[in-house]
């Protein structure tokens, strides 16, 4: 091996400490990986994938993406407006607000129906 290759392979004290830390974390994680943990993680992952599938199969992603790119939202994030009850009542006249509120009401109703269905399953 030439001098250049041995310099490339030379590890500093910091490199060795980082490598030691990585090996310690790996050893700790390997010790934690029990069949029970893997089973629980797979249940959580399965639920998340079902949720993602449900979201992706609707227009919700497109609606949220467009909403997050709205320039009015950017301005409101930088300088959030203070809205009281009067401002809320005035916003009720705005078509976009009405549409968004309607969407939120339907979402809350769907969550309520789903909660009712889930609670009836757990009681049986």
Q: Is the pLDDT of residue 9 over 70?
A: no
78 three-state secondary structure:
helix
pTM of the predicted model as reported, rounded to 2 decimal places: 0.53
Q: What does the alpha-carbon distance between residue 14 and residue 111 come to, in Å, rounded to a whole number?
A: 52
Q: What does the alpha-carbon distance between residue 92 and residue 89 come to, in Å, rounded to a whole number?
A: 5
Sign of the Cα torsion 39, 44, 50, 56 reads: negative
Q: Which residues of 42-53 are buried (b: 16+ CB within 10 A; e: fewer)?
A: eeeeeeeeeeee
Per-residue confidence (pLDDT) for residue 95, from 0 to 100: 97
Q: Is the pLDDT of residue 119 over 90?
A: no
Q: What is the pLDDT of residues 63-103, one digit of tens each?
A: 889 999 999 999 999 999 999 999 999 999 999 999 999 99
């Amino acid at each position: 091996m030439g001098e250049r290759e041995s310099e490339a392979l030379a590890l500093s004290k910091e490199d060795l400490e980082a490598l030691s830390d990585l090996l310690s974390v790996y050893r700790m994680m390997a010790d934690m990986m029990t069949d029970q943990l893997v089973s629980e993680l797979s249940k959580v992952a399965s639920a998340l994938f079902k949720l993602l599938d449900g979201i992706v199969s609707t227009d919700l992603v497109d609606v949220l993406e467009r909403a997050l790119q709205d320039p009015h939202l950017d301005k409101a994030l930088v300088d959030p407006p203070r809205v009281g009850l009067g401002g809320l009542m005035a916003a009720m006249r705005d078509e976009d607000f009405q549409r968004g509120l309607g969407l939120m009401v339907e979402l809350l109703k769907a969550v309520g129906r789903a909660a009712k269905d889930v609670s009836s399953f757990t009681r049986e």
